[in-house]
Amino acid sequence: MTGTWQRRHVLATDDWSRDEIEQVLQTTGAMAEVLQRPIRRTPALRGRTVILFFAESSTRTRVSFELAAKALSADVTNITASGSSVEKGETLLDTVRTLTALGGDVIVMRHAASGAPYFVAERTAAAVINAGDGWHAHPTQGLLDAYTLRAALGDLQGKRIVIVGDITHSRVARSDIDTLVPLGATVTLSGPPTLVPSAWRCGMTPRGVSFEADLDRALDGADAVIALRLQKERQHAGLLPSMREYAHAWGLSEARVGRMRPDAPVLHPGPMNEGIEIAASVAHGARSLIETQVTNGVAVRMALLYLLAAAPEQKE
Amino acid sequence: MVGIRARGDLLAARLHEAIRANEHVDLPLGSLDITLYRDDLTRVGNAPIVRESVIPFSVDDRVVVLVDDVLFTGRTIRAAMDALVDYGRPRAIRLAVLVDRGHRELPIRADFVGKNVPTAATDDVRVQLVETGGRDEVELVPAAVPA
């Protein structure tokens, strides 16, 4: 690992070097230790303001960022779409101008439109962290999954990770691929072919990624599996015959999980639909790292807030 | 005994070993990274690298000896004390340093000093250790005198 942190924003990890990913994971390890202390707060971001701008609903990601910012002693302000001027028809541009004028050092944003954080990053002096934009990216989830898998499996070089579910609409799947592949892992995608991008389904997958519709075959000998949340509205869009059929073909049951290597862990970004994409016994079983992911999420977000906000803004 | 990263932790490990060899006492040993407690974080160019602190024991009601290589302004030690008390309430905190070069900016002094070295505030004191790939040496580099 070389060099110091240079990025001003965290919008997606698709153009990150392995060094940058390693630096975040290493810093995350230090932050995880801070969270073990009797007093889980350090003064690193004293006097800095973090604005959480969530234009799409979220509980765990928002709370995770809030705890992360507070553990670094930053001031935190929450803005949600409902109950704000967004409901009165304020444009994203106007919202951004207001957030910038309010003096935020970091804007953490979630938005239903893919690419919205890029629009904001070009128009504000604050650092922008993407907390999920449409189908595009959820970089902090990708990083926390990589951190969690590395803590469980060691070096990811040559490890094979299965991601199962609605790949097409999943920003988590994209960010997981962007983070895990540079760390040396290969990714096997599985799920209903109607919910996998057609190019990927036909073999034109990114480097390090393959597609296997049959989940049993995908899981055989795998080192870990990440189950994605199935959004129930996909059924109404005609992409799924029924939830029952989905659970039968692509739900993670005890028997299926047993096809992986012994002790291969199970991850899920939450919130879970137990009994659909994952059986309750798997979600709460010995292999499950789902609660660890939540804990690690705070440490990853601390690392990113620190790297972006500890140094003064480099205004061009 | 708690060494301040990076280098103070290496010196603490050596002291720990010397005490074990000579006194047959195995003191609890930890290392502390004080980056998140620095008072100049907003003034340095880029976010400095944060490393993991390892304090594998309770500091409550114990006498903790902080170990560092060079005592200069005292700001590092101030940060280390703030970090340490986030782990509990030590009975006392002592300070051991290899070199005290003077020029304190805070009311801090060392309890154990390897060597007092008079310096100008602009001088550079460089400590190298075998563990970091050099040889054991402390070098006093005078500030460049403008021609």
pLDDT in tens, B22-48: 999 999 999 999 999 998 887 777 788
Chain A residues in contact with B47 by the CB 8 A cut-off are 4-5, 306-308, 310-311
Residue A314 lies in a domain: no
Q: How many CB pairs under 8 A join A and B?
A: 66
Compute the Cα dihedral for A145, A150, A155, A161 and give only its sign: negative
For position A152, which CATH number holds? 3.40.50.1370
Query: Using one digit for the tens of pLDDT, what is the confidence trace for A123-145?
Result: 999 999 999 999 999 999 999 99
Query: Using one digit for the tens of pLDDT, what is the confidence trace for A58-93?
Result: 888 999 999 999 999 999 999 877 666 666 667 888
pLDDT of residue A241: 82
- Which A residues in the span 60-89 are in contact with B, Cβ-Cβ below 8 Å? 72
Q: Is the ipTM of this complex over 0.85?
A: yes
Decide if B50 and A27 are in contact by the 8 Å CB cutoff: yes
A184: closest CA among A222, A220, A210, A146? Answer: A146
pLDDT of residue B90: 97
Residue B76 structural domain: 2-121
Residue A10 lies in a domain: no
CA A120 centroid distance within chain: 19
Q: Does A29 touch chain B (CB under 8 A)?
A: yes
Does residue A31 have a pLDDT over 50? yes
Which of B5, B42, B58, B75 is the best residue to mutate to test the A interface, defined by the most A CB atoms within 10 Å of its own CB? B42
Q: Are B110 and B97 in contact (CB under 8 A)?
A: yes
pLDDT of residue A3: 61
% chain A with pLDDT above 90: 79
Mean predicted lDDT score pLDDT of chain A: 92
Rounded Cα gap, residues A164 and A212, in angstroms: 10
Query: Would you list which residues of chain B are within 8 Å, Cβ to Cβ, of chain A?
Result: 33, 35-38, 41-54, 82-83, 85-88
Decide if B35 and A44 are in contact by the 8 Å CB cutoff: yes
CA B139 centroid distance within chain: 17
pLDDT of residue A179: 97
Does residue A191 have a pLDDT over 50? yes
Shared domain check, A265 and A163 = yes
- Which A residues in the span 252-311 are in contact with B, Cβ-Cβ below 8 Å? 303, 306-308, 310-311
pLDDT of residue A316: 35
pLDDT of residue A84: 64
Residue A7 lies in a domain: no
Indicate the number of domains in chain A: 2
A6 band by pLDDT with thresholds 50, 70 and 90: confident
Shared domain check, A143 and A112 = no
B145 band by pLDDT with thresholds 50, 70 and 90: low
Count of helix runs (H) and strand runs (E) in chain A: 13, 9
B38, B50, B87: residue with CB nearest A38: B87
Shared domain check, A119 and A60 = yes
Q: Does A26 touch chain B (CB under 8 A)?
A: yes
Q: Is the bond leading into A241 cis (omega within 30 degrees of zero)? A: no
Residue B96 lies in a domain: yes
For position B59, which CATH number holds? 3.40.50.2020
Matching residue, tokens 């599985």:
A190
Shared domain check, A272 and A209 = yes
For residue B48, what is the nearest residue in chain A, using CA coordinates?
A4
Rounded Cα gap, residues A141 and A147, in angstroms: 10
How is residue A284 written in tokens?
Answer: 């709460």
Q: Going by C-beta distance under 8 Å and a sequence separation of 6 or more, which residues neighbour residue A99? A: A51, A53, A79, A107, A124, A126
Decide if A4 and B47 are in contact by the 8 Å CB cutoff: yes
Shared domain check, A134 and A144 = no
Interval A286-297 mean pLDDT: 96
Region class of A28: left (phi > 0), else alpha (psi between -120 and 50), else beta: alpha
Rounded Cα gap, residues A224 and A228, in angstroms: 13
Residue A2 lies in a domain: no
Q: Are A126 and A51 in contact (CB under 8 A)?
A: yes
Decide if A310 and B48 are in contact by the 8 Å CB cutoff: yes
B50, B52, B83: residue with CB nearest A306: B50
Interval A109-118 mean pLDDT: 94
Does residue A312 have a pLDDT over 70? no
For residue B52, what is the nearest residue in chain A, using CA coordinates?
A30
Decide if B36 and A38 are in contact by the 8 Å CB cutoff: no
Region class of A89: left (phi > 0), else alpha (psi between -120 and 50), else beta: left
Rounded Cα gap, residues A313 and A70, in angstroms: 20
Rounded Cα gap, residues A101 and A118, in angstroms: 18
**Is A28 or A103 the better-scoring residue by pLDDT?**
A28
Least confident stretch, A36-50, A54-68, A236-250 = A236-250
* DSSP-assigned beta bridge partners for residue B32: B4
B33, B41, B86: residue with CB nearest A310: B41
Does residue A56 have a pLDDT over 90? no
Residue A40 structural domain: 18-138+295-309
Query: Using one digit for the tens of pLDDT, what is the confidence trace for B81-131?
Result: 999 999 999 999 999 999 999 999 999 999 999 999 999 999 999 999 999
Shared domain check, A289 and A155 = yes
Residue B51 lies in a domain: yes
Q: Going by C-beta distance under 8 Å and a sequence separation of 6 or more, which residues neighbour residue A202? A: none
A315 band by pLDDT with thresholds 50, 70 and 90: very low
A191: closest CA among A137, A221, A230, A141? Answer: A230
Region class of A237: left (phi > 0), else alpha (psi between -120 and 50), else beta: alpha
Residue A240 identity = L
Shared domain check, A164 and A116 = no
How is residue B35 written in tokens?
Answer: 């980056």
Residue B132 lies in a domain: no
Pairing of strands A127-133, A160-164: unpaired
